[in-house]
Amino acid sequence: MQLAEFFSSQPNRLWHLAKQLDVNYAVGGLPWEEKQEKPWDPMPLIRMKQRYADSGLKLTVIESMPPSNEIKLGTAGRDAEIEVFQQFIRNMGAAGIPVLCYNFMAQFNWFRTSTTTRARGGALVSSYDHSLMQDAPLTEAGIVSEEQLWENLQYFMERIVPVAEQARVKLALHPDDPPITPIRGVSRILTSAAALQRAIDLVPSKYNGITLCQGTLATAGEDIPSVIRHFAKQDKLFFVHFRDVKGTPEKFEETFHDNGKTNMLEAMHTYYEVGFNGPARPDHVPTMEGEDNSNPGYELLGRLYGIGYIRGLMEAAAAARSVNGSKVSAGI
């Protein structure tokens, strides 16, 4: 497993602290600070990749994308957005960036009703209570059905997957978060492991796979080790968000990595069992004492805690595999 972290596109304190923790792989957004060119153009991507390299970090995933809401809604501008998306993937391939983490959540991305829920020791986490959405107004998109979204996803994939094959960029589809439908009239379709399988089967390709977001799929009630095995045996597991939650799709909260519903050590053992060697990062961490919660889920201290916790699990899983391998070699 390649222990990674999500970094800003310009160096900051986390870049240095992560290297001190021996993190060598970067997940980046897009360099939105570019003024003369679009952030998905070739040179901004190349310069961003080189900034990471100059700091000892290998950019393995971009977890962002050009504007795509018209693609998801199937509205008049979707073909223009798809053309931009296709060029973005070509530019990623030319820059040697191998994985794109993207989503198909229309109107809004990951969605919470609170970012100030109290967790262990008074740390702040995000949470979701679907009862608060029952009488919420529709968005300007009105009612968006599941059927529309499935049709729009297929239309998109039919035009994007062949480009990804040519560029040799792996498409890692993220599940919908929260995994519940609808929210404010907008349906969510990628709410389970079965839905993710249906999605990548729309246009079969070795470059069409998933981001296994443990927190989202645990919220959906999935057994995480089983999901890991299911997608890994197909070589469709491209990227991992290693996090956890408490609760159900109707009402849940995020947790410290060691305090959720998933057996995280068993999950890590499973990644090693299936031979997963791709990037994984901590995600949606608690805001801890002394932090202002201006960036919920992505403050500094919780991310450092997550990195250390994941590294410990990696060492435990690797040691177990080594011991078990020695026993097999010895005929025990």
Which tens digit of pLDDT belongs to each residue from 262-281? 999 999 999 999 999 999 99
Distance CA 14, CA 105 (A): 28
| pTM summary value | 0.95
Compute φ and ψ for 100, nearest 5 degrees: -115, 120
Q: What is the DSSP string of 91-143?
A: HHHHHT--EEEE---SS-SS--SEEEEE-GGG-EEEEEEGGGGTTPPP-TT--
Q: Which DSSP category does 222 fall into?
A: -
* Per-residue pLDDT tens digits for 10-41: 999 999 999 999 999 999 999 999 989 999 99
CA-to-CA separations, 98 to 13, 89, 172, 313, 314, in angstroms, rounded: 26, 10, 10, 26, 23
Arithmetic mean of pLDDT over the chain: 96
Distance CA 137, CA 140 (A): 9
> pLDDT tier at 321 (50, 70, 90 boundaries)?
confident
CA-to-CA separations, 165 to 71, 92, 158, in angstroms, rounded: 20, 12, 12
Q: Which domains does the chain have, with CATH numbers?
A: 2-329 (3.20.20.150)
State the pLDDT at residue 328.
43
Compute φ and ψ for 25, nearest 5 degrees: -120, 135
State the pLDDT at residue 97.
98
* Rounded mean pLDDT, 176-187: 97
Q: Which DSSP category does 29 fall into?
A: -
Q: Which amino acid is at 110?
A: W
Residues ≥6 apart with Cβ < 8 Å to 265: 313, 316, 317
Tokens 């070795």 belong to residue = 206
Please list, residue by residue across 119-145, b when 16 or more beta carbons sit within 10 angstroms of its beta carbon and e when fewer do.
beeebbbbbbbeeebeeeeeeeeeebe
